[in-house]
Every structure is written in C-alpha cells, then in structure tokens.
Amino acid sequence: MDLGKGDEGIRQQPQVQLIYTPRFRSRIARIHGYISEVLNSPKAADSIIDSILSACELLKQEPYMGIMIRSAKRPYAGMRYIVSGMYLILYKIDHDKVMVSSIFDTRTEEAARFLDRDIREASSEKDSD
C-alpha cells in the first residue's frame, strides 16, 4: 500500500473546539488560589494548573479518550471524565466541540462518592452480562 510521500497519505482526524465553561473556569481559579495563597505555593499552583490544562488540550485530538459516565440518574449522564494528577475533569462531546464543564479534587468526599457510584454501577452491569 502506497501512502505517498510524507504525511500526505495519512488521514488526519480534525481537531475539535475546546470550550471551558464558566463553572470550570471558576473552579480552576479556586484551585489555583487555594494552592497559591492558602498553601503559599504559587509555583506549585501554576504547575498544577498547567498540567490540568495540558490534559484538557489532549481532548482536542482524542475527545473519546475519557471514561464514559455510566449512570443516567445523575446530572452528569452522557459525560466523560479524565484524570490529571489528583483532579477529575468532566467534559461532554457535542459534535465538533468538547465542553469542559467541571473539575473535582479526587481527595474530596464529592469526588469519592462520584467515583464510587460509577465503579459500582459498572461492576453491576458486568455481573448482569
């Protein structure tokens, strides 16, 4: 099979548009503020936020890389998540857009309940197969 010269014969998947919701922006600002001011570590805050945003940027190339949230009972039904460090990043794919909607610190009770519920539901679906 002749692919031609260079990358001409390789079909590139088009990038999707990445959109950060106001809720995500607000939570990112709070995370940065807490680490920078309360923990007195501005360099660490910058590094963590850079890592989170880099993980989000990967979604432009691979929007389906995240784990699908299984439950239709939650307000997060139909969404996906990726993990960056200690943070769970929620997003939804809408045609040619990826809407990054929220972020949770995985060490919080809210994230633990969220992950536990999703894991339990995935296990019960596997057992019923």
Question: Could you tell me the CATH number of the domain that includes residue 113?
Answer: 3.30.2310.20
Q: Which pLDDT does position 127 carry in this prediction?
A: 47
Q: Is it the case that residue 120 has pLDDT exceeding 60?
A: no
| Tens digit of each residue's pLDDT (9 = 90 or more) over 16-33 | 999 999 999 999 999 999
Residue 12 inside a domain? The answer is: no
Q: Which domain holds residue 98?
A: 17-128
Residue 24 inside a domain? The answer is: yes
Q: Which pLDDT does position 27 carry in this prediction?
A: 95
Residue 4 inside a domain? The answer is: no
Q: Which pLDDT does position 111 carry in this prediction?
A: 73
Residue 126 pLDDT grade (very low, low, confident, very high; cuts 50, 70, 90): very low
Q: Is it the case that residue 119 has pLDDT exceeding 60?
A: no
| Angle in degrees, 0-180, between the axes of helices 42-61 and 22-33, rounded to the nearest 10 | 150
How many distinct structural domains can be found in the chain?
A: 1
| Tens digit of each residue's pLDDT (9 = 90 or more) over 34-43 | 999 999 999 9
| Tens digit of each residue's pLDDT (9 = 90 or more) over 50-61 | 999 999 999 999
Is residue 79 within 8 A of residue 127, CB to CB? The reply is: no
What average pLDDT does the structure give for the chain?
Answer: 82
* Residues whose CB is less than 8 angstroms from the CB of residue 16 and which lie 6 or more positions away in sequence, other chains included: 59, 60, 63, 93, 96, 97, 98
Residue 11 inside a domain? The answer is: no
Q: Is it the case that residue 112 has pLDDT exceeding 80?
A: no
